[in-house]
């Protein structure tokens, strides 16, 4: 049997959330099934580390998928040609993109459909048009689907009228570089980052739906009430910084207590998570929310939103707030700051909650979905 895989997001030293999902789940499935030949389709030169085993054949389709015109050419014309040439038996896409009219059984992945709730989350008009017009067709024309939370599964059923038995939930899991470090390492990190001051941290894309505007407002409210020296660390590239987010930051009373690190490697973020009072991940919308489980793995308390998938991922191990109310976020920060006992309780619950998510479990579920796809094709 020969399975084609869309591996265009396996980019060396540039793995984002979906890219990491692709990496970890394929590593497990490929090695667990040496009897299957996997054809990895890349859209540019690939790193040899992504060829995990002898049963992987890498193929470069020379059309880097950087914008909607190239997406169309790649997935509608080039990819079908290569799959026909290579005589594959099915196609798996970990990132939602696929040919609209696939000639083989297709297993596709929808991580979320946030663009359906608020299309303006996608600022580029051409990208927005592509998502709103093509992704409903991708959902309809896939043989089978996987998604990363029950919340996202319900969305697919509601928005795209996909039947429940056509969708499986395959969870994300924490990056394996997140773990508990020594007290000495925590002290060194804290001293280097904030001159020894307590801090909350956020990690993710600097994007409107990540809700940094309300996080900044909440931090001001927290500082005004407590008078503490606590700082706020923001980890992520300033991709969508200009405009409302930058304006909200410039209006802060306590902006000098905010530290921007830029994009960091997972090993560095792990040290920060270990050293923080809590993660403040108060996004407006998430299909899963990987920073939550990564904070759990690092022994860090989590403040997160009471919306979309986040209560499903956080369980009883997180402190929840209304992401649309800065005072609600500030109240959660104050509770963490005031109560070391609450922090310890959340840390212990976080370790337990994190056991529900592992790449081994997810790989098993993915393989079950592959078998369903083949049986229906």
Q: Are residues 192 and 100 in the same domain?
A: no
Q: Are residues 241 and 298 in the same domain?
A: yes
Q: Are residues 111 and 228 in the same domain?
A: no
Q: Are residues 233 and 285 in the same domain?
A: yes
Contact 139, 110 (CB under 8 A): yes
- For 15-20, which contacts have Cβ atoms below 8 Å and span 24 or more sequence positions? 17/111, 17/172, 17/290, 18/94, 18/95, 18/111, 20/175, 20/290
Q: Are residues 123 and 196 in the same domain?
A: no
Could you tell me which of 330, 335, 290 has the C-alpha nearest to residue 314? 290
Query: What range defines the domain where residue 318 resides?
Result: 183-354
Q: Would 337 be classed as within a structural domain? A: yes
Q: What is the pLDDT along the chain (377 residues), one digit of tens a residue?
A: 999 999 999 999 888 889 999 999 999 999 999 999 999 999 999 999 999 999 999 999 999 999 999 999 999 999 999 999 999 999 999 999 999 999 999 999 999 999 999 898 888 999 999 999 999 999 999 999 999 999 999 999 999 999 999 999 999 999 999 999 999 999 999 999 999 999 999 999 898 889 999 999 999 999 999 999 999 999 998 877 888 999 999 999 999 999 999 999 999 999 999 999 999 999 999 999 999 999 999 999 999 999 999 999 999 999 999 999 999 999 999 999 999 999 999 999 999 999 999 999 999 999 999 999 999 87
Contact 53, 31 (CB under 8 A): yes
Q: Are residues 300 and 282 in the same domain?
A: yes
Q: Are residues 149 and 247 in the same domain?
A: no
CATH number of the domain within which 300 lies = 3.40.50.2000
pTM higher than 0.85: yes
- Please state at what angle helix 359-376 crosses helix 17-32, rounded to 10 degrees: 70
Q: Are residues 12 and 159 in the same domain?
A: yes
Q: Are residues 264 and 286 in the same domain?
A: yes
| SS3 of residue 219 by DSSP | helix
Q: Would 178 be classed as within a structural domain? A: no
Q: Are residues 20 and 141 in the same domain?
A: yes
Give the chain's domain count: 2
Q: Would 235 be classed as within a structural domain? A: yes
Sign for the CA dihedral angle at 258, 263, 268, 269 comes to: positive
CA–CA distance, 284 with 300 (Å, rounded to integer): 21
Could you tell me which of 366, 11, 305 has the C-alpha nearest to residue 171? 366
Q: Are residues 71 and 122 in the same domain?
A: yes
Q: Are residues 61 and 131 in the same domain?
A: yes
């Amino acid at each position: 049997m020969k399975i084609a895989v869309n591996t265009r997001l396996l980019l060396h030293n540039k793995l984002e959330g979906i890219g990491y999902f692709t990496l970890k789940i394929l590593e497990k499935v490929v090695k667990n099934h040496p009897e299957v030949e996997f054809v990895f389709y890349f859209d540019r030169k690939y790193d040899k580390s992504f060829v995990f085993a002898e049963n992987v054949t890498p193929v470069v389709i020379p059309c880097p998928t950087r914008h909607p015109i190239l997406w169309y050419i790649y997935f509608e014309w080039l990819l079908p040609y290569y799959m026909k040439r290579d005589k594959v038996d099915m196609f798996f896409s970990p990132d939602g993109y696929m040919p609209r009219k696939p000639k083989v059984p297709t297993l596709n992945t929808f991580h979320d459909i946030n663009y359906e709730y608020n299309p303006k989350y996608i600022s580029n008009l051409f990208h927005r048009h592509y998502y709103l017009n093509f992704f409903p067709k991708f959902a309809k024309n896939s043989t089978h689907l996987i998604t990363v939370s029950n919340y996202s599964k319900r969305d697919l059923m509601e928005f795209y009228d996909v039947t429940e038995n056509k969708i499986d939930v395959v969870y994300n899991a924490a990056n394996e570089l997140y773990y508990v470090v020594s007290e000495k390492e925590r002290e060194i990190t804290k001293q280097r980052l904030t001159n020894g001051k307590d801090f909350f941290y956020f990690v993710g894309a600097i994007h409107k739906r990540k809700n940094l505007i309300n996080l900044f407002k909440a931090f001001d409210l927290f500082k005004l009430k407590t008078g503490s020296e606590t700082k706020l660390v923001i980890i992520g590239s300033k991709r969508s910084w200009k405009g409302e987010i930058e304006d909200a930051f410039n209006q802060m009373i306590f902006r000098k207590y905010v530290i921007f690190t830029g994009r960091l490697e997972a090993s560095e973020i792990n040290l920060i998570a270990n050293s923080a009072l809590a993660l403040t991940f108060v996004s407006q919308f998430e299909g899963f929310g990987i920073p939550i489980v990564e904070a759990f793995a690092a022994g860090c308390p989590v403040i997160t939103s009471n919306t979309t998938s986040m209560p499903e991922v956080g369980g009883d191990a997180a402190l929840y707030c209304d992401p649309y109310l800065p005072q609600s976020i500030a109240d959660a920060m104050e509770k963490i700051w005031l109560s070391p006992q609450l922090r310890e309780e959340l840390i212990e619950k976080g370790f337990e909650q994190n056991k529900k998510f592992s790449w081994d479990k997810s790989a098993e579920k993915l393989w079950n979905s592959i078998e369903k796809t083949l049986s229906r094709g």
